[in-house]
């Protein structure tokens, strides 16, 4: 199947071909995302087999919690994706939306860990807002597919 989307990091060392991307953009206001990105992360979900990575040798990964890891370009520092740590490498990609060459048709629909968002910034428009407890309850109820 031809890639529906392409994307790359700031320096271009990591290039992505993406299929099966969900056009809903999710913002995460948790402390880890805030520190890692500088504000909040904005991600789109792509199935584990929907990303072809060119320049994988430039990808560095930081295990940011017991359950997930964040990958970034080791040359330019661009945030690439967040994935749950699970056996078999089957976890979906929470891919940084800003990497995409074309964001046409993508829309911010959900903000998670909304209770951790500092008053410093706020997104306009209507989004579903979930607290950290609501997000964690959701994942506890339906563990990773």
Which residues lie near Zn ion (CB under 5 A)?
9, 11, 13, 28, 30, 33, 73, 75-76
- Provide the minimum distance between the beta carbon of 27 and Zn ion in the complex, in angstroms, as a whole number: 9
- Provide the minimum distance between the beta carbon of 6 and Zn ion in the complex, in angstroms, as a whole number: 15
Strand partners, 83: 69
> Measured from the CB atom, is 21 or 80 closer to Zn ion?
80
Residues 6+ apart with CB under 8 A from 126: none
> Measured from the CB atom, is 75 or 129 closer to Zn ion?
75
> Measured from the CB atom, is 34 or 48 closer to Zn ion?
34
> Measured from the CB atom, is 13 or 46 closer to Zn ion?
13
Q: Which helix (H) or strand (E) holds 17?
A: strand 15-18
Residue 74 is classified by DSSP as T
- Provide the minimum distance between the beta carbon of 76 and Zn ion in the complex, in angstroms, as a whole number: 3
CA contacts within 13 A on the Cβ side of 93: 25
- Provide the minimum distance between the beta carbon of 9 and Zn ion in the complex, in angstroms, as a whole number: 3
- Closest alpha carbon to 112 in 81, 85, 137, 77: 137
């Amino acid at each position: 199947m031809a890639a529906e989307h392409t994307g790359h990091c700031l320096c271009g060392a990591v290039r992505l071909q993406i299929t099966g991307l969900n056009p809903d953009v999710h913002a995460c206001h948790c402390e880890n995302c805030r520190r890692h990105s500088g504000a909040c992360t904005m991600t789109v979900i792509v199935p584990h087999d929907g990303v072809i990575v060119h320049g994988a040798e430039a990808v560095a990964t930081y295990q940011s919690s017991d359950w997930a890891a964040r990958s970034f370009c080791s040359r330019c520092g661009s945030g690439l994706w967040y994935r749950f740590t699970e056996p078999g490498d089957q976890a979906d990609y929470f891919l940084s939306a800003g990497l995409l060459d074309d964001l046409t048709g993508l829309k911010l629909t959900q903000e998670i860990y909304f209770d951790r968002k500092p008053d410093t910034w706020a997104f306009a428009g209507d989004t579903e807002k979930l607290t950290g407890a609501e997000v964690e309850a959701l994942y506890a109820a339906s563990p990773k597919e």
